[in-house]
Amino acid sequence: MGFVVGLDAGGTSTRALVLDLDGTRLGEGVAGGANPNSHPPEEAATHINQALAAALEGLDTTKVESGVLGMAGSSKVLADPSVSALFEAAWTGAGLRCPMRVITDCEAAFAAGSASPDGTVLVAGTGSIAARITGHQLTATYGGYGWLLGDEGSAFWLGREAVRATLKALETDAFDALTTAVLNRAEIPPTPAREAWRHLITKTNQARPIDLAHYAPLVTAHATARSAQAIITTAVTTLADLALSDRRPTDETPIVLVGSLVHAHPLGAHLRAELATRTQAPVHLATEGAAGAAWLAAVEVLGDTAPRPA
In a domain, 49, yes or no: yes
Highest mean pLDDT out of 36-40, 147-151, 222-226: 222-226
Q: How confident is the model at residue 226 (pLDDT cuts 50, 70, 90)?
A: very high
In a domain, 223, yes or no: no
In a domain, 255, yes or no: no
In a domain, 83, yes or no: yes
Among 216, 293, 211, residue whose Cα is nearest residue 260: 216
| Complete edge-to-edge strand list for the sheet that includes strand 3-9 | 25-32, 13-20, 3-9, 64-71, 100-104
In a domain, 38, yes or no: yes
- Counting the structural domains of the chain, the total is 1
Report whether pLDDT(223) > 80.
yes
In a domain, 298, yes or no: yes
Q: What is the CATH number of the domain that holds 24?
A: 3.30.420.40
* Mean pLDDT (whole number) for 270-292: 94
Which residues form the domain of 50? 3-117+288-302
Q: How confident is the model at residue 288 (pLDDT cuts 50, 70, 90)?
A: confident
In a domain, 147, yes or no: no
**pLDDT > 70: percent of the chain:** 99
In a domain, 237, yes or no: no
Q: What is the pLDDT of residue 246?
A: 87
Q: What is the pLDDT of residue 76?
A: 66
Report whether pLDDT(1) > 80.
no
pLDDT for 82-124, tens place per residue? 889 999 999 999 999 999 999 988 899 999 999 999 999 998 9
